[in-house]
Amino acid sequence: MLRLDRRLLHNVDWPLLGAAFFIIGLSLVCLWSLNPGRGISGLVWRQLSWVGIGLVGLIIVISVDYRNLVRAAPVLYVLGVGMLLSVFVLGRTVSGARRWIHLGPLTVQPSELFKLIFVVTLAWALTSGRTERLSRAALAGTFVLLGVPFLMVVRQPDLGTALVLVPVLAATLIGIGISLRMLGFISLGVVAAMPLGWLVLKPYQRDRLLVYLDPFRDPLGTAYNVIQAKIAIGSGQLLGKGVGGATQSRLSFLPERHTDFIFAVFAEMWGFLGCLVLIVAYVLLVLRGFEIAASTREPRGRILALGVTTVFAAQILINIGMVTGLLPIVGIPLPLMSYGGSSMVVSLTALGLLLSIRMRQFH
């Protein structure tokens, strides 16, 4: 099964891979510069090893026909929900949030992997009907698929991951041609459900949302992070301060500077021009993903490609949006940039899925 058809290699999407590795390279430089002058720090080595593991995942996904993956969706989904549940039992609490489970020496964040499983399950649910038409039952089914893990992830509490699932579902439904009227109804329903969602949120998550609406509500707590991130980004100005001058980032003004806030570090060091380059790389990656989705004929493949692309796009937009103060802080890593094993491995695996679909496009 792992034997790779030689023909497939001709169809590797090199621009997509190139953009991804360019971004990973920037991530490593960024992590290194957080601790310059002390050789290559442990952070960089660990991130490199995550990249290695992610590449293994990528190769495995490429070697497998994604259609087999979609067929296995129900099993994957149950496994995924099980993993999310296991966090409540085996979970490790980090700064008030239970998101990680221990697997030997590793800590894994199941919600990261679940994003991918969710996309695969969507592809399965929307294509397994006899007819090619979208029934009301299938539509309701997708919401159940979203709802179960959504509630769990929100309670975990990992609001960020949950919020990524919503645009993924929305984009997928739009892709398969849901009527505008139906979309309107659903949006109304979501707005109506918002007060309900408020009840589910943890106090600190409510605080974050309120602070977003009124930054001066809490200038010392949550808003401090936003203010410091904005100062870091802004002080990079057009050309950036370079590795040595990035005082904001290096001097621990920035919280979570190597994970969720790594963009602020990057922006301070490389300025607007650097940000432009990084964002162009991300746009290239995302547009390549949309291109693959658009040009795939096979229904499962194209829904999968669209979903995976949306996962990337949503995470990138939400992360940079929150670090630059456009969106509330919800705790989402920046794919391929943020330090962290789960995120890196899942991102590379997702990339593998896109490549795999691309390679089998013309079958």
Partner 1 sequence: MELKPPPANRREAWGRRVLALAVTTSLAFAVLLGQLWYLQVLEGGRMHELSEKNRIRIRPVAAPRGILFDRNGLALVDNRPAFTLSFIPREMEDRNTVVARLSVLLKIPVGELLEGLEKVPNDSIRPVRVRRGLSLEDVTKVEERKLELPGVIVEVEPQRVYPTSTFAAHLLGYVREVNDEQMKQGRYRRGDMIGQSGLERLLDDYLRGREGGERIEVDAMGRQVQIMRREEPNPGAQVITTVDRRIQEAAEQAMAGRAGAVVVMDPRSGDVLALTSSPAFPLDRLTGNLDRDEWVRLVRDPMTPLMNRALQGQYPPGSVFKIIVTAAGLQEGSLAPMDRVYCNGEFTLGNWTFKDWKKGGHGHMDLRGAIAQSCDVFFYQAGLKVGGDTMARYAHAFGLGAPTGIDLGGERFGLVPFSPSQRSRSKRPWQAGDTVNMSIGQGQLLVTPLQVARMMAAVANGGILWKPRLVQRVEQADGTVAYTASSKMTERVELSPVVWAFLRDALTAVVKEGTGVAARLPGVEIAGKTGTAQTIAKSDSAKGQDHAWFASFAPADDPQVVVVVFVERGGHGGDVAAPVAKQIYEAIFLQKVAQVTIGESG
Give the footprint of partner 1 on this chain (CB under 8 A).
132-136, 171, 174-179, 182, 219-220, 224, 230-238, 247-248, 250-251, 253, 267, 271-272, 275-276, 279, 282-283, 286-287, 290-291, 293-295, 297, 302, 306, 310, 313, 317, 320-321, 324-326
- If the CB atoms of residues 113 and 223 are measured against partner 1, the closer one turns out to be 223
- If the CB atoms of residues 104 and 177 are measured against partner 1, the closer one turns out to be 177
Q: How far apart are CA 175 and CA 306, in angstroms?
A: 8
**CA 204 to centroid of chain Cα atoms:** 22
Largest Cα–Cα distance in the chain?
62
Task: Give the burial class of 358: count Cβ atoms within 10 A of its Cβ; 0-12 exposed, 13-18 middle, 19 or more buried.
Answer: buried
Shortest CB 276 distance to partner 1, Å: 7
Shortest CB 326 distance to partner 1, Å: 6
Shortest CB 325 distance to partner 1, Å: 8
Q: Which conformational region is residue 325 in: left (phi greater than 0), alpha (psi within -120 to 50 degrees), or beta?
A: left
Taking a C-beta distance cutoff of 8 angstroms, is the pair 297, 361 a contact?
yes
- If the CB atoms of residues 155 and 230 are measured against partner 1, the closer one turns out to be 230
Shortest CB 275 distance to partner 1, Å: 5
- If the CB atoms of residues 56 and 273 are measured against partner 1, the closer one turns out to be 273
Taking a C-beta distance cutoff of 8 angstroms, is the pair 350, 58 a contact?
no
Shortest CB 236 distance to partner 1, Å: 6
- If the CB atoms of residues 82 and 219 are measured against partner 1, the closer one turns out to be 219
How many Cβ atoms from other residues are within 10 Å of residue 232's Cβ? Answer: 26
Q: Nearest-CA neighbor of 352 among 12, 36, 121, 122? A: 12
- If the CB atoms of residues 271 and 341 are measured against partner 1, the closer one turns out to be 271
Host H or E run for residue 307: helix 299-323
Shortest CB 266 distance to partner 1, Å: 11
Shortest CB 322 distance to partner 1, Å: 11
Strand residue runs (E) in 38-194: 92-94, 97-103, 106-108
- If the CB atoms of residues 9 and 166 are measured against partner 1, the closer one turns out to be 166
- If the CB atoms of residues 9 and 239 are measured against partner 1, the closer one turns out to be 239
Nearby residues of 153 by Cβ (< 8 Å), 6 or more positions away: 84, 111, 114, 159, 161, 162, 165
For residue 77 the two structure tokens come to 């989904």
Q: How far apart are CA 118 and CA 112, in angstroms?
A: 10
Q: How far apart are CA 258 and CA 179, in angstroms?
A: 42
- If the CB atoms of residues 87 and 354 are measured against partner 1, the closer one turns out to be 354
Shortest CB 121 distance to partner 1, Å: 20
Q: What is the DSSP string of 189-235?
A: HHHHHHHHHHHHS-HHHHHHHHHHH-GGG-TTTHHHHHHHHHHHHHH
Shortest CB 68 distance to partner 1, Å: 23
